[in-house]
């Protein structure tokens, strides 16, 4: 049962008085209540502070994601209350979801491309190579990653090395084409 709510609950559309005397789960998104109950029970057993995410329902009905640090307050070695501090991480969570979706789309494009796409470290070590390498140079992606063979044609090697040097200085090139040696 909530005994104090800071004025910051106004960010959710509530007044502190709206919260006082009510159970914290009254404000939780119903889908997350089982997880919150499980975390609370575990904390009641071990008394350690927890950092968790909790979705709460704002007064207008929107769902807001909070990061909550919950500490157990002890008196004479016994728990007497919990102290929670929360911050809104809704925008961060949305940005993370957008990033994951973008990465999923990018990966799908790269993995299904007929072009061999290769990412390298600044030192020229292969960090990623698309599956199209099988058809293009006869190597399995794992072989290129593990063995890191030099696949650039010897006549193009000086030019490719210069492109890498320019990239390391912050002068990236796009659409770099060079001949390769097949397996």
Q: How does residue 14 score in pLDDT terms, banded at 50, 70 and 90?
A: very high
Enter the pTM of the model.
0.62
Instruction: Please report which confidence band the pLDDT of residue 164 belongs to, taking 50, 70 and 90 as the band edges.
Output: confident
pLDDT per position as a tens digit, 59-80: 999 999 999 999 999 999 888 9
Query: Dihedral (C-alpha) 148, 151, 156, 161: value to the nearest 10 degrees?
Result: -10
Supply the DSSP string of 156-170, one letter for each residue.
Answer: GHHHHHHHHHHHHTT
pLDDT grade for 45, boundaries at 50, 70 and 90: confident
The percentage of residues in the chain with a pLDDT greater than 70, rounded to a whole number, is 99
Which tens digits make up the pLDDT trace of 103-155?
999 999 999 999 988 888 877 788 999 999 999 999 999 999 999 888 899 99
Q: Decide: helix, strand or coil at residue 120.
A: strand
pLDDT > 90 in the chain, percent: 67
Residue 6: is its pLDDT beyond 80?
Answer: yes
Do residues 180 and 151 touch, judged by C-beta distance below 8 A?
yes
Give me the pLDDT at residue 121, please: 83
pLDDT score recorded for residue 149 = 87
Q: Name which residue leads in pLDDT, 46 or 155.
A: 155
Please give the pLDDT value at position 161.
87
| CA gap 33, 25 in Å, rounded | 7
pLDDT (0 to 100) of residue 89: 97
Contact 88, 73 (CB under 8 A): no
């Amino acid at each position: 049962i909530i005994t104090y709510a800071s004025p910051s609950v106004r960010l959710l559309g509530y007044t502190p008085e709206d919260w006082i005397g009510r159970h914290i789960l009254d404000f939780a998104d119903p889908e997350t209540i089982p997880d919150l109950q499980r975390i609370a029970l575990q904390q009641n057993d071990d008394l350690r502070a927890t950092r968790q995410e909790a979705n709460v329902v704002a007064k207008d009905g929107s769902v807001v994601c909070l990061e909550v640090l919950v500490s157990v307050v002890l008196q004479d070695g016994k728990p007497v209350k919990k102290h929670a501090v929360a911050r809104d991480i809704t925008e961060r969570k949305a940005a993370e979801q957008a990033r994951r979706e973008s990465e999923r789309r990018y990966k799908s494009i790269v993995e299904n491309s007929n072009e061999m796409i290769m990412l390298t470290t600044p030192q020229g070590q292969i960090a990623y190579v698309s599956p199209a390498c099988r058809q293009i140079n006869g190597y399995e992606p794992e072989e290129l990653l593990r063995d890191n063979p030099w696949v650039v044609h010897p006549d193009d090697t000086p030019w490719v090395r210069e492109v890498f040097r320019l990239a390391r200085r912050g002068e990236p090139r796009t659409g770099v084409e060079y001949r390769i040696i097949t397996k």
